Amino acid sequence: MTFDWPTALPLIFAGLMGLAILIYVILDGFDLGIGILFAAADDAEQDTMIAAIGPFWDANETWLVLAVGLLLVAFPMAHGTILTALYIPVFLLLLGLILRGVAFDFRAKVPAGKKQRWNRIFFLGSATASLAQGYMLGVYVLGLDVGFGGMAFGALVALCLSAAYAAMGSAWLIYKTEGGLQRKAVRWLRTTLVLTALGMVAVSLATPFASPRIFDKWFLWPEILYLSPLPILSALLFLWLWRQTFHLPRPDDRHALRPFLTLAAIFALGFAGLAWSFYPYVVPDRLTIWQAASAPESLAFILVGTVVVLPIIIFYSFYAYRVFGGKATDLTYD
Amino acid sequence: MDPLILSRIQFGANISFHILFPAITIALGWVLLFFKLRYNATGDSAWMRAYFTWVKVFALSFAMGVVSGVTMSFQFGTNWPGYMETVGNIAGPLLAYEVLTAFFLEAAFLGIMLFGFRRVSNRIHTLATVLVAGGTTVSAFWIIALNSWMQTPAGFEMRDGKAHALDWWAVIFNPSMPYRLMHMLLASGLTVSFLVAGLSALRYLVGDRSESMWKALRTGVFTAAILIPIQIFAGDQHGLNTLEHQPQKIAAMEANWNTGPNVPLVLFALPDEAAKENKFELAIPDGASVVLRHSVSGVVPGLNDYPGNHPPVFPVFWGFRIMVGTGILMLIVSWSAAFFLKRRHSLPKLLALIMVPMTISGWVATLAGWYTTEIGRQPWLVTGVLKTADAVGPVAGSHVALTLAVYLILYVLLLIAYLSVLVHLALKAAKDGDASPLPGAMNAALSQQAAGE
C-alpha cells in the first residue's frame, strides 16, 4: 500500500484534534472542577485553590482554542454543522468561560468588599461552562438532532461531566495542597467519583443504542474483543482509585499526584472509547473526516508548523508546570 | 428578526469588545519589558514598582482578551459557517499558526511573568516578559495577515466555489498587510501610551508625586509624542494603499459621489445615500485631491462608479473622521505634555485634567479606525470572493437576538468593572506611592498578588 497524503492528512488531523480535546478536558477539567468546588470552600481555602491553578489556567484554556481551531481549520464543514446545531449550549459555554476567566483576575484586584461577588461569579462561570460541555457531549453522542429525551440525556451527562471535573479538581488539590484543605479534597473526590462513574456508564450505554452502526462496532465478534480492554481497564482504575481515597493523604504525602494521574488515565480511556465508536465520522453518521476535511495543500501547510511547534509547546508547558511545582500554599503565603 | 443583521451586530459587538484588550496587551508587554530592563540597568526600585502596578493591568487585560477571543473563534462556526466553508483553506492555516506560534507562548510564560519572579532567575523572568510581549505581537501579525487577506485577497484561486492557496507568501504578505500591521501596532502603542499617561495623570492629580508615578508618566507621554507623528505618516500610507486596492472604500471615507479631479476635502457632512449627495457639507476645495493624489487635478474615485456595490457611506465617513480627529487631539495633548515635562519638569493641572479622559483615546481611535476599514469592506466579507450575506448560518433569528442581548449586557458590565478596577489600581498605587513594598523585599509585593490570582 502506498502512502497517500490526501487520505492520511485528515486522519492525522483527526488524531491531533482528539489529542487537543483530551488534553483540554484533563487540564481545564481540573481548573473548572476547582471552580465548582469553590461553593464548598471558605475564604482562605478559596485563595489557596486559586493559587493552585492561577499560573496555569490561561495555557490550559488555550488547548480548547487549539481544539476548536483544528476543527475549524481541518474540518470546516463539520465546524459549521456542529456549532450551528449546538448554538445555545455553545453560547452558554462561552458565557461560562468569559465569567470564569475574568473572575480570576477581578477577584484579586477589586476593593476587598467586592471580592465575594467575584468569587460567586467564578463558581457560576465554572459550573456553567462544565454543564454546557457535558450537555454538548451528551447531544453529540446521540447524533446532534435530539428531541426532549435527548435533551434530558444531555442534562444527565452535563451533571456527570461536571462531577467528573470536580473530581479532577479534587485530585489536583490533593496534589497541590496540604492540611485541612487536602483532607477536604479527599472527601470531595470520593463523592464526585461516584457521579463520574455513573456518567461514564450512561454515555457508554447510550452510545451504541443511538446508532446501529456503533452497536455493531461494539457487540459483533470480533470487534467486541478489541473494545473490551477499555471498559475493563476503566473499571479497575475506578476501583483502585476508590480504595486509594480511604488512605489519603499518605504519610509524607507520598504519591499525592497519583489520584490525578489515575483520573486522567480514566478520562483518556473513555475518550479512546468515544473515538473508536465514532471513527470515521466527525459529525455522527453524517460526515466523515474525509468529507469534511480542508484541501490537502492547506493541511500540509499547517502540519509542517504543527510538527515543529507542538513539541516545543509541550516542552515549555512542562517547564511552566515545573516552575510552579510543589504545594500551592507556598506560592501564596511566604 | 433577520439573523444576518443580528449576527453582524453580534460579531461586531464581540470583536469591538475584544480589540480593546489586545490593543492594550500588544504594546503594554513591551512597555513592561522597558520597565524591567530599566530596573535591570539602573537598579532603581521605582522602575520595578511601575512594573508591578502595570503588570496587574496587563494580567487583567490579557484575561479579558483571551475570553473574548475564544468567543470569536466559536462564532465563526455558530454564526458564519459559510466563511470557513468558502475560504477555510486560507483562513484556517493562518488562525492555526496564530494559536501554535502565539497563544501557547503567551499563555505559558504569562504565569512565570506574573508569579514567577521569586521562582526563576531574574534573567528567566526578563525572558518570560520578552516571550509574552513577543507572543502578543506575533498574534497580531497572523490575525492582521488574515484580516488583510479578506480586504485584499491574493495568492489563491477558486476551485468549485472554494478558495485554494497557490502561494502562501503572497497570501500572508498580501498587498494591504504590511500597512495594516504597522498601523495597528502603532495604534496599540498609542493606546497604551495614553493609558499609562492618563492613569499616571490621575495619580498626579490626587497628589501622588512618587518616583514610580513620574517614571510611568514620562514613559507614557514621551512614547505618545514620538509615536503619533509616525502613526499619522503610516496612516497616510495605508490610505494610499487603500486607494489603490479598495477605491470604493476611499470614496465612502471621503463621501465623494462623482469620480473626477479637484475633489474637495469634506470636513463635515451628512451623507445621504438615497439622494446620492451630502447634506450640510463643509469642505476645503481640492483638499481630497491634494491629500490622496498630491495634486489639485488628481482624480479621486466616486461612489457612483460602484452602484449597489459600495459600503454604507455614513458610518465609514464618520468613523474615519472620529479616528483622525482623535489622532489630532493626541498630537496636541502629547506634545504639550512632553514640552512641559521636558522643559519645565512639571505638569500643569489643566493638562493633567485633560489627560485623564484621554486615557481611553486610543480605544476611541482604534475602534473608529476598525469600523472604517471593516464597514468599508462591505458588502463583501472577502473582497470579490464572498459576500457577508452568503456566509451567515442557518440559526433562528430569535436565538441570535437572545445571545446578542446577553452578550451586550455582559460586555457593558465587564467594561464598567474593568474601568473601575483600573481607576482603583491607580488610586491604590497613588496612596501607596513610594511606600509600597520595595523590590528589594519583593516577596511581599509578589505574594500579595499571587494570593489574589
Q: What pLDDT digit, counting tens, does each position of A251-274 carry?
A: 777 777 888 898 899 888 888 888
For residue B119, which residues of chain A lie inside 8 Å, CB to CB?
Answer: 323-324
* A 111-140 near B (Cβ less than 8 A): 111
Contacts of A70 in chain B (CB under 8 A): 96
Nearest chain A Cα distance for residue B77, angstroms: 5
With beta carbons less than 8 A apart as the criterion, state whether B304 and B256 touch.
no
Show Cβ contacts of residue A12 under 8 Å, excluding neighbours closer than 6 positions: A299, A303
Q: What's CA B103's distance to the chain center, in Å?
A: 18
How many residues are listed for chain A in this entry? 334
In a domain, A52, yes or no: yes
The number of C-beta contacts closer than 8 angstroms across A and B is: 230
pLDDT at B439 over 70: no
Q: Is residue A334 part of a domain?
A: no
Task: Output the CA torsion sign for B166, B168, B171, B176.
Answer: negative
For residue A78 the three cell numbers come to 463539520
> Per the structure block, which three cell numbers stand in for A138?
451528551
The ipTM, to two decimals, is: 0.81
Q: pLDDT tens digits, residue range B20-31?
A: 999 999 999 999
A167 touches chain B (CB under 8 A): no
pLDDT on residue B433: 73
Of B76, B100, B410, the CB nearest to A98: B410
Q: What single-letter DSSP state applies at residue B158?
A: E
Contact B81/A83, CB-based, under 8 Å? Answer: yes
- With cell 493633567, the residue in question is B352
- The Cα B382–Cα A57 span in angstroms is 35
SS3 state of residue B275: coil
Q: What is the pLDDT of residues B236-294, one digit of tens each?
A: 889 888 888 888 888 888 888 888 888 888 888 888 878 777 778 788 888 788 888 88
Q: Cβ contacts (< 8 Å) between A19 and chain B: which residues?
A: none
Q: Do residues B400 and B3 make contact, with C-beta atoms less than 8 angstroms apart?
A: yes
pLDDT value at B438 more than 60: no
What is the crossing angle of helices A229-244 and A258-278, to 10°?
160
Mean pLDDT of B51-76: 86
Alpha-carbon gap, residue B247 to B176, rounded angstroms? 13
- Cross-strand bridge partners of residue B159: B162
Quote the distance between the C-alpha of residue B408 and its chain's center: 20
List the domain range (segments joined by +) for residue A22. Answer: 10-329
Q: CB distance B85–A77 less than 8 Å?
A: yes
Q: Largest alpha-carbon pair distance within chain A?
A: 68
pLDDT of residue B436: 61
Please give, rounded to a whole number of angstroms, the shortest distance from the CA of B453 to a CA of chain A.
Answer: 5
Predicted confidence at residue B453, as pLDDT, reads 39
Whole-number pLDDT of residue B437: 57
| Rounded Cα gap, residues A170 and A164, in angstroms | 10
Nearest CA in chain A to B58: A105
pLDDT at B194: 95
A291 vs B: CB within 8 A = no
Q: How many CA atoms lie within 13 A of B300 on its CB side?
A: 31
- pLDDT range class, residue B120, cuts 50, 70, 90: confident
Return the DSSP state at B433. G
Domain assignment present for residue A301? The answer is: yes
Residue B345, SS3? coil
- Domain for residue A2, yes or no? no
Q: Which residues face B156 on adjacent strands?
A: B165
Which residues of chain A have a CB within 8 Å of the CB of B77?
68, 71-72, 79-80, 82-84, 90
**Concatenated DSSP letters of A302-314:** HHHHHHHHHHHHH
A283–B contact, CB cutoff 8 A: no
How far are the Cα atoms of A214, B14, B146, B160 from residue B390, in angstroms, in the given order? 36, 20, 19, 16
Mean pLDDT of B196-224: 90
Instruction: Give the ranges where B246-376 is alpha helix by DSSP (H).
Output: 247-253, 287-293, 313-339, 349-355, 361-375
**Residues from chain A contacting residue B59 (CB–CB below 8 Å):** 105
Higher-confidence residue of A241 and B191: namely B191
Q: For residues B317 and B255, is the Cβ–Cβ distance under 8 A?
A: yes
Contact A175, A324 (CB under 8 A): no
Please give the Cα distance from B452 to B438 (Å, whole number): 19
Q: Is residue A173 part of a domain?
A: yes
Do residue B62 and residue A90 have CB atoms under 8 angstroms apart? no
State the smallest CA–CA distance between residue A196 and chain B in angstroms. 27
pLDDT grade for B233, boundaries at 50, 70 and 90: very high
Backbone φ, ψ for residue A282 (5° rounding):
-105, -35
pLDDT in tens, B72-89: 878 877 788 888 888 888
pLDDT of residue A306: 86
pLDDT band of B450, cuts 50, 70, 90 = very low
pLDDT of residue A267: 86
Q: How far apart are CA B181 and CA B187, in angstroms?
A: 10
Give the C-alpha separation, B234 to B206, whole Å. Answer: 37
Indicate yes or no: CB of A320 within 8 angstroms of CB of B406: no
CB B32 within 8 A of CB B417: no
- Determine the residue of chain B that is closest to A320 in CA distance: B108
Asked if A79 lies within 8 A of B84 by C-beta distance, the reply is: yes
Within chain A, which residues score under 50 in pLDDT? 1, 330-334
pLDDT recorded at residue A128: 94
Q: Chain A interface, mutation test: which of B52, B72, B78, most A Cβ atoms within 10 Å?
A: B78
Residues in CB range of A19: below 8 A, 6 or more apart? none
* Residue A5 lies inside a defined structural domain of this protein: no
A264: distance to nearest CA of chain B, Å? 21
Distance from CA of B167 to the nearest CA of A (A): 10
How many CB atoms sit inside 10 A of residue A43's CB?
Answer: 9
Q: Report the alpha-carbon distance of residue B81 to residue A102 in Å, rounded.
A: 28
pLDDT higher than threshold 50 for residue B451: no
Cell numbers placing B11 = 460579531
All residues at 6 or more sequence positions from B123 whose CB lies less than 8 Å from its CB, including other chains: none
Per-residue pLDDT at A202:
81
CA distance B315 to B61: 28
The answer to whether residue A4 is domain-embedded is no
pTM: 0.86
Whether B444 has a pLDDT exceeding 50, the answer reads no
Q: Of A145-154, B347-356, B420-429, give the lowest mean pLDDT range.
A: A145-154
Q: What is the mean pLDDT of residues B424-439?
A: 74
Q: Rg of the Cα trace of chain B?
A: 23
Question: Rounded to a whole number, what is the distance in Å from the CA of A317 to chain B's nearest CA?
Answer: 6
Neighbours of B407 (CB within 10 A): 22
N-term to C-term CA, chain B = 42
pLDDT at B240: 87
Give the per-residue pLDDT at A2. Answer: 60
Q: Annotate B238-261 with b (16+ C-beta within 10 A) or e (fewer).
A: bbebbbebbbbbbbbbbbbbebee
Q: Which residues of A touch B452 (CB under 8 A)?
A: 47, 50, 107-109
- Integer Cα distance of B303 and B300 in angstroms: 10
- Contact present, B269 and B330 (Cβ < 8 Å): no
How far away is chain A from the Cα of B131, in angstroms, using its nearest Cα?
Answer: 12
Question: Which of B66, B95, B165 is facing A297, going by the closest CB pair?
Answer: B165
A74 touches chain B (CB under 8 A): yes
Q: Is B282 helix (H, G, I), strand (E, B) or coil?
A: strand
Contact predicate B183/B238, CB 8 Å: yes
A276 inside domain: yes
Please tell me the distance in Å from A38's CA to the nearest CA on chain B.
14
Report the pLDDT value the prediction gives residue B452, as an integer from 0 to 100: 38
- How many structural domains is chain A composed of? 1
